[in-house]
Chain A
Amino acid sequence: MTTLELRSGSDPAERPMVTPTAALGMFRRPVAATGWKAWVFTVDHKKLGIMYGATAMFFFLLGGCEALLIRLQLAAPDNTVLSAGLYNEMFTMHATTMIFLFVMPMSAAFANYFLPLQVGARDVAFPRLNALGFWLFLFGGIFLNTSWILGGAPDGGWFMYSPNSSALFSPSHGVDFWTLGLQITGIASLVGAINLIVTVINMRAPGMTLMRMPVFAWMQLVVQLLLLFAIPVITVALFLLSFQRNFGAAFFDVEQGADPLLWQHLFWIFGHPEVYILILPSFGIISEVLPTFARKPLFGYKFVVFSGAAIGFLGWGVWAHHMFASGLGPVSVAVFSISTMLIAIPTGVKICNWTLTLWGGKLWFTTAMNFAIGTIVLFTIGGLSGVTHAAAPADTQQTDTYHIVAHFHYVIVGGGVMGLFAGLYYWWPKIFGKTLSETLGKWNFWLMFIGVNLTFGPMHILGMQGQPRRMVVWPKKLTGDGFFNLGFWNRVASVGAFTIATGVLLFVINVFRTARKSEKAALDPWDARTLEWMTSNPPKEHNFDAIPTVHALDEFFHRKYEEVESADGIRLSRIKTAEDVHAELNANPDAHIHLPSPSYWPIVLAFALPVIAYGVIFNLTLSIIGAVILLFATFGWVLEPSVAGEDEYDPPPPPPALPPADDDGSPKELASVG
């Protein structure tokens, strides 16, 4: 076990120190790795957050290219850019990539990076699990995408209904890659969820009660709880499908008397909470961004928090609204229709609160603020069309048309992705110490905002005209004319898709230009409100020199401003600069900060799973090799010292030259148990 030991005040340099069990032979834990090893074996939540973000961004570009190909195919009548089979693979992988490999990990990136900072912790509760989560996600994503070169990608649509998912209708290995790949990323989400929940519950700074927690932390808590309980359901569904495809069971085969609706139920019991898993992080982000740039506290903090929790809870009771057209029977349809309408209430409450936060504020239109307001606008449009789906009779007409496509893209791209971009612009100076260019940022925002409306707005019309989703071509003779000309609106949508792409391209350019720029960001560029801004940009490895004691919601803001009575009523007056607050906080740094040391095992353990998965598809011998790696890595993980006893640090830590290897499980530790 190695610790990074920080001497109070005088010697801020991190001094790696070898403590007892470092010399455990093959189970040695790496000591203060440098270079690429510092990233590969890291357990630091900030590095993992950045890696999550970078990987998610890569998959975002990949999924975006898939979307562009789809729109290219649909830009002209009877087009032949993609074959029908390839088109099926393309939309399946587009959806899967965007949902599981971009939005979820991107929000995991923010959660990893900012949750510990926002609640005033030094790291997450289980740093190695955190690393495991990232590597599982990365390997799962790569595994899924290798299907392109190993016989064909999955082609059953992202909800992979039976019988489309059966070996008869999807003979390539694509669906196998899909089930196993999602299984792996599912485990990643699960360990991430447990980790982050424990972090929020156990590791808050002194004084940080739950109701003083930033809304982003709250929304992430809800999301992680949803993940915790939703992932096992999809796990069951995926196992059943795997067993059907790989071992000859018949869970969804009608010929053998099975009920394909079972898949739909299991999938959507997972799938609807999943929708909130996608959207709530973005809600959390804009609930941070709006008050900062409106220079007002969030209107109705408690309402925002509780409606977030209510959305999380009600989200469990609405799944069958995805199945109105499947013959559920009138009672079920009515029940789920009503519960679905109910969920619009907490969502409406949130939109109201955001709007009222802006009301009367001194608005500062930065790019982050633009994205946040764009999120509200676009999400409201998507939400309203969502209510029309809740009404079962209307939905019966809309099911599987472009109207649905329009709805969920407004919600996920307009609500989710725009919110994530707000977060990127808002937190970039915090993460990298440099501010993204505002000029390029404005271009990025407007191109994306206009692009989203151009792409997905016309889809409402297309859908109401009856263009089914997932249709590979639209024949020229069926396009109609006048306002409802399908060809015209399809072309508009395709132009819109490329507008969004240009916007995203500008973001990428912005990132590279900012990286080469030497100008450093100010300590508190946005005059922000929450704890993560009470440390340097970027934060030190141990986050805070001294853990702040929290007295209020928006702690940082309250340390900078004070209410004073004046002739026109109560006004806010600045009493301290951010630098003052930092200096005050760091005047008294904590002694003996111990951080966990890097570990080899997360990446090894994560590597075992795709090996097993390839084995299931191609050759079971490979699975056995994978299982052996898994077992070996697990033992390595367990035997590696995770926590050294407190007495090894305080008070005075043993000098580095004294490492008795067998000290860890000695009677000294036994004595402390009783």
Chain B
Amino acid sequence: MSEHAEHAEAEHDHPTNRYFIYTAAVLAFFTALETSTYWIDFGSFATPLLLILMSMKFFAILLIFMHLKYDSKLFGAMFYIGLGLAVGVYIAALCTFQFFAG
């Protein structure tokens, strides 16, 4: 998303449609990349790669489409508390099943 950084600065309150279309294009490209792991074998890189792509897509939608970047910090806090708790608590629970051991 770095190529859009300055763009975002310029359009602080009200990102333009063009900016959204760029974002969508990048997201679509990421999706294509993700899907390509189905045909091309990345070996042991596949899972980390997919996870990274996933979180990039996740935050792109969150910050740009859902304009959390421009929203009140409080809203962000509310959402991140939920997200953080969800990730933390469920990973801990899966750990107790020794889910990641195998």
A residues sitting closer than 8 Å to B (CB atoms) are 201, 225, 228-229, 233, 259, 261-262, 265-266, 269, 316-317, 320, 328-329, 332
**Does B66 interact with chain A (Cβ within 8 Å)?**
no
Q: In the complex, which of the residues A225, A229, A266, A332 contacts B96, with contact meaning CB atoms closer than 8 Å?
A: A332
CB distance from B80 to the nearest CB of A (A): 12
**Does B97 interact with chain A (Cβ within 8 Å)?**
yes
Which residues of chain B come closer than 8 Å to A269, judged between CB atoms?
Answer: 89, 93
**B 7-29 binary contact with A (CB < 8 Å = 1; else 0):** 00000000000000000000000
A329 vs B82: C-alpha distance when bound (angstroms): 28
**Does B52 interact with chain A (Cβ within 8 Å)?**
no
**B 67-102 binary contact with A (CB < 8 Å = 1; else 0):** 000000010000001100100110011011110000
A632 vs B10: C-alpha distance when bound (angstroms): 45
A201-B74, A225-B81 in contact; A329/B98 too (CB < 8 A)?
yes
Q: Is the CB of B96 within 8 A of A329?
A: yes
Q: Is the CB of A316 within 8 A of B89?
A: yes
Residue of A nearest to B93 (CB): A265
Q: In the complex, which of the residues A262, A266, A316 contacts B85, with contact meaning CB atoms closer than 8 Å?
A: A316
A201-B74, A269-B89 in contact; A320/B81 too (CB < 8 A)?
no
A201-B74, A269-B89, A316-B89 in contact; A229/B81 too (CB < 8 A)?
yes
Q: Is the CB of A259 within 8 A of B93?
A: no
A160 vs B89: C-alpha distance when bound (angstroms): 21
A320 vs B83: C-alpha distance when bound (angstroms): 20
A261 vs B88: C-alpha distance when bound (angstroms): 18
Q: Is the CB of B74 within 8 A of A229?
A: no
Q: Is the CB of B96 within 8 A of A328?
A: yes
Give 5 nearest A-B pairs by CB, closest first: A265-B93, A332-B96, A328-B96, A229-B85, A269-B89
Where chain B touches its partner, the secondary structure class is helix
B residues sitting closer than 8 Å to A (CB atoms) are 74, 81-82, 85, 88-89, 92-93, 95-98
CB distance from B75 to the nearest CB of A (A): 10
26 contacts across the A-B interface (CB closer than 8 A): A201-B74, A225-B81, A228-B82, A229-B81, A229-B82, A229-B85, A233-B89, A259-B97, A261-B96, A261-B97, A262-B97, A265-B93, A265-B96, A266-B93, A269-B89, A269-B93, A316-B85, A316-B88, A316-B89, A317-B92, A320-B96, A328-B96, A329-B96, A329-B98, A332-B95, A332-B96
Interface centre among B81, B89, B97 (most CB of A within 10 A): B89
CB distance from B74 to the nearest CB of A (A): 7
Residue of A nearest to B74 (CB): A201
Which residues of chain A come closer than 8 Å to B89, judged between CB atoms?
Answer: 233, 269, 316
Residue of A nearest to B89 (CB): A269
A228 vs B81: C-alpha distance when bound (angstroms): 11
Which residues of chain A come closer than 8 Å to B96, judged between CB atoms?
Answer: 261, 265, 320, 328-329, 332
CB distance from A448 to the nearest CB of B (A): 36
Which residues of chain B come closer than 8 Å to A317, judged between CB atoms?
Answer: 92
Given A317-B92, A329-B98, 9 more A-B residue pairs with CB atoms under 8 Å apart are A201-B74, A225-B81, A229-B82, A229-B85, A233-B89, A262-B97, A316-B89, A320-B96, A329-B96
Which residues of chain B come closer than 8 Å to A265, judged between CB atoms?
Answer: 93, 96
Which residues of chain A come closer than 8 Å to B82, judged between CB atoms?
Answer: 228-229
A328 vs B88: C-alpha distance when bound (angstroms): 18
Residue of B nearest to A261 (CB): B97
Which residues of chain A come closer than 8 Å to B97, judged between CB atoms?
Answer: 259, 261-262
Which residues of chain B come closer than 8 Å to A316, judged between CB atoms?
Answer: 85, 88-89
Which residues of chain B come closer than 8 Å to A233, judged between CB atoms?
Answer: 89
CB distance from A443 to the nearest CB of B (A): 45
Residue of A nearest to B82 (CB): A229
Residue of B nearest to A326 (CB): B96
